[in-house]
Copies of this chain bind each other. A is one copy, B any other.
Amino acid sequence: MADYAHARGVDRLVRLALDEDLPGPDLTTEATGVGGCSAAAAFVARQACTLSGIGVAERVFAILDPAVRFERLREDGATVAAGEAIARVSGRAGSILAGERTALNFLQRLTGVATVTRAMVDLLAGLRVTLLDTRKTTPGWRQLEKAAVRDGGGTNHRFCLSDAVLIKDNHVRLAGGTAPAVAAARARLAPGTRIEVEADTLAEVRAALAAGADAILLDNADPATAREAALLVGGRAVLELSGGITAANLREMAATGADCVSCGALTHSAPAVDISLEFL
List the interface of chain A (C-beta within 8 A of B).
2-6, 8, 12-37, 39, 63-65, 92-95, 97-98, 101-102, 104-106, 108-109, 112, 130, 132, 135-143, 146-147, 155-157, 159-171, 173-175, 181, 184-185, 188-196, 214-215, 237-238, 259-260, 264-265, 268-269, 271-272, 279
Contacts and interface: CB of A to CB of B under 8 A. Distances in A.
B23 A139 contact: no
B26 A175 contact: no
A34 B139 contact: no
Shortest Cβ-Cβ A-B pairs, 7 listed: A163-B163, A17-B139, A5-B22, A24-B162, A192-B238, A31-B185, A34-B174
B184 A31 contact: yes
Nearest to A189: B31
A26 B17 CA distance: 20
B272 A136 contact: yes
Nearest to A168: B28
A132 B109 CA distance: 20
Contact of A27 (B39, B163, B184, B238): B163
Contacts of A98: 4, 161
Given A140-B16, A193-B194, A260-B191, A4 B22 contact: yes
Contacts of A169: 279
Nearest to A23: B23
A135 B17 CA distance: 11
Given A27-B161, A34-B171, A20 B192 contact: no
B21 A160 contact: yes
8 contacts: A4-B22, A16-B139, A25-B161, A28-B185, A101-B135, A106-B139, A108-B268, A269-B272
B24 A97 contact: no
Contacts of A189: 27, 31, 155
Contacts of A13: 139-140
Nearest to A264: B272
A140 B26 contact: no
A116 to B, nearest CB: 11
B6 A175 contact: no
A155 B27 CA distance: 12
Nearest to A181: B32
